[in-house]
Amino acid sequence: MGSKQKERVHAILYWGLPVLAVILIVVAWVLFSAQHPELMPDPVSVWKRLIKTFVKPIGNTNLFGHAWASLSRVLLALLIAWAFGIFFGILIGWNRTARAIFGSIFEVIRPIPPIAWIPIMIMWFGIGELPKILLVFIGTFVPLVINTSAGISMVDKINISVGKVFGGSNMQILKDIVIPTALPSIFAGIRTSVSSGWTTVLAAEMLAAQRGLGSLVTKGWQGSDMALVLVAVITIAIIGSLLSFLLNKLEKVVCPWNSNK
Amino acid sequence: MEQQQMTKKMEVKGISKTFYNKNSYFTAIENVSFDVKDGEFLVILGPGRCGKTVLLNIIAGLEEKTEGAVIYNGKEISGVNPEVGMVFQKLALMPFKTVLQNVELGMKFRGVPKAERHEVARRYIDLVGLKGFENSYPTQLSGGMKQRVGIARAYANDPKVLIMDEPFGQLDAQTRYSMQNEILRIWEQEKRTVVFVTNNIEEACYLGDRIILLSDCPAKVKEIYNIEIPRPRNMVSKEFMDLRAKISDNTDLAI
């Protein structure tokens, strides 16, 4: 009886605390904006500004259009980055020759923050879609390669011995033992790539774009329209957390053994 | 009695293994020779951490030897011997595969059709007493159950010689005793040649038809014991205690 009650209290507590945290932030926001309206618009005017983006579109599209512009850039770049990044990561982690050829290149590129590529991309490719997608690709490709190859090369030697004793060919061992063993690391790479891609696309849009949530931030900033900046920032935050929520769900589907602990 | 008629299945001839580092070397195994007879339960008993796993890996073809040869059915073997199976000390189950998928691994690699694979795997899962756990993941099983999966996996691949590398080393004493009986039951039912490695004298005396006693580093063959005590053996009978004392007196102390 006692433990059941305790469980119920815990359930309420762990559902309630996040809600409480959000409420506290909103309260702090209301209090702060009441005292310093010039620094921080209050929630109601942000809400009104949000409605206005649908009535009076910016750059010929509403808030959804801007969100979709950012999202579609990220998703396209991510798909390409996942395909290439995981492939290269497996290659580098599994094959010593490939590691010798490509490994050092990635080590050199790794510490460069993606936004440092922005001037190069603009100079080479202008301000169209291509440089933005390329930029996100660079920002997401590298963590994928690094995580995947680390995961592959850290597979316990004994697991490979198992594969050999049970008569597996190199390809079978790679496919049935090594890649699944590395899957949690690969997934960590995917997770990093999504958050890094989302950050990078917004940074790219802030510098040069007609559409996208990043461009809304810049427009609000330049027009001293703090409410618009907040609309964009909140939308960015909501989409970012939705993406990570979806990834959690996906991880449970892809790596079911990990969630059984 | 029967043992005299047993034919030689495998011959380990003058195996040595030395590991070389930059400016030092370390001999793990020195000139180890013994036969493995067809159908026997052979125990390799070694005191320390030295050499046993390396020796097994050499027999299984997972590791290069510095000197010597492994003869199987009269032919020298190099590389992995497909007729040798292995139960690993560290279990080495695939955490991302269910019990059934783990047990099927060898058959999958050999391209056995799915239906047949399932059937054979289920038979061995039943044999090791894990019926009902086919779709569990290893993390959901206890230590003893995990090692049963390792045993089923090895048997399901239909090896002629089964190597077991201290399979019960990580189990608690109670589970260990029951697994010893299990392994004898399975061995009697399946009649494969077993090479069982342990550092536990009692376990060696309880299980083996013969015991190869190794010395401490580097591992050499110290003595070979034929055990005539009929099974099931009583661990507190006089003959068992005598044998145990005899081997114990002859064993190097491991530090």
Distance from CA of A154 to the nearest CA of B (A): 14
d(CA B92, CA B87): 9
In contact, A166 and B97? CB cutoff 8 Å? no
The predicted structure's pLDDT at residue B117:
93
CB contact under 8 A, B109 and A168: yes
- Chain B residues close to A162, C-beta within 8 Å: 86, 88, 92, 94, 105
- Chain B residues close to A179, C-beta within 8 Å: none
CA-wise closest residue to B58 among B110, B104, B105, B18: B18
The predicted structure's pLDDT at residue B32:
92
The predicted structure's pLDDT at residue B78:
86
Q: What digits encode the pLDDT tens for the residues B217-237?
A: 888 898 899 998 888 888 889
Q: What is the mean predicted confidence (pLDDT) over B233-249?
A: 89
Q: What is the DSSP string of chain A?
A: -HHHHHHHHHHHHHHHHHHHHHHHHHHHHHHHHHH-TTTS--HHHHHHHHHHHHHS-BTTB-HHHHHHHHHHHHHHHHHHHHHHHHHHHHHHHH-HHHHHHHHHHHHHHTTS-GGGGHHHHHHHHTTSHHHHHHHHHHHHHHHHHHHHHHHHHTS-HHHHHHHHHTT--HHHHIIIIIHHHHHHHHHHHHHHHHHHHHHHHHHHHHHS-SSSHHHHHHHHHHTT-HHHHHHHHHHHHHHHHHHHHHHHHHHHHH-GGGGG-
Q: Which residue of B has its CA nearest to A173?
A: B109
Q: What digits encode the pLDDT tens for the residues A77-133?
A: 999 999 999 999 999 999 888 888 888 888 888 888 888 888 888 889 888 888 889
Residue A253 has pLDDT above 90, yes or no: no
d(CA B146, CA B142): 6
d(CA A169, CA B245): 46
Q: φ and ψ at B197, to 5 degrees? A: -105, 135
Of A162, A186, A258, which to mutate for an interface test with B (greatest number of B Cβ within 10 Å)? A162
Take residue A238 and report the two structure tokens written for it: 């909501």
| Domain spans of chain A, in order of start | 1-40, 44-260
pLDDT band at residue B153, thresholds of 50, 70 and 90? very high
Q: What digits encode the pLDDT tens for the residues A183-215?
A: 989 999 999 999 999 998 888 888 777 889 999
Distance from CA of A169 to the nearest CA of B (A): 8
Considering only residues B53 and B48, tell me which one the structure prediction assigns the higher pLDDT: B53
CA A231 to chain centre: 20
Q: What digits encode the pLDDT tens for the residues B3-49?
A: 445 688 899 999 999 998 888 888 889 999 999 999 999 999 987 67
- Residue in A158, A169, A183 nearest the CB of B96: A183
Pick the CATH number of A44-260 from 1.20.58.1030, 1.10.3720.10, 1.20.1250.20, 1.10.10.10: 1.10.3720.10
Residue B98 has pLDDT above 50, yes or no: yes
Residue A260 has pLDDT above 70, yes or no: no
Residue A44 has pLDDT above 80, yes or no: yes
Residue B129 has pLDDT above 90, yes or no: no
The predicted structure's pLDDT at residue B162:
92
Q: Which residue of A has its CA nearest to B150?
A: A162
Q: What is the mean predicted confidence (pLDDT) over A173-181?
A: 93
Of B109, B110, B147, B153, which to mutate for an interface test with A (greatest number of A Cβ within 10 Å)? B109
Q: What is the mean predicted confidence (pLDDT) over B243-254?
A: 82
Domains of chain B: 1-80+193-255 (3.40.50.300)
Among A37-41, A182-186, B148-152, name the one with the lowest average pLDDT: A37-41
Residue A229 has pLDDT above 50, yes or no: yes
Among A104-108, B122-126, B251-255, name the one with the lowest average pLDDT: B251-255
- Chain A residues close to B85, C-beta within 8 Å: 165-166
Task: Tell me the pTM.
Answer: 0.79
The predicted structure's pLDDT at residue A70:
93
CB contact under 8 A, B88 and A158: yes
Instruction: Give the SS3 label for residue B76.
Output: strand
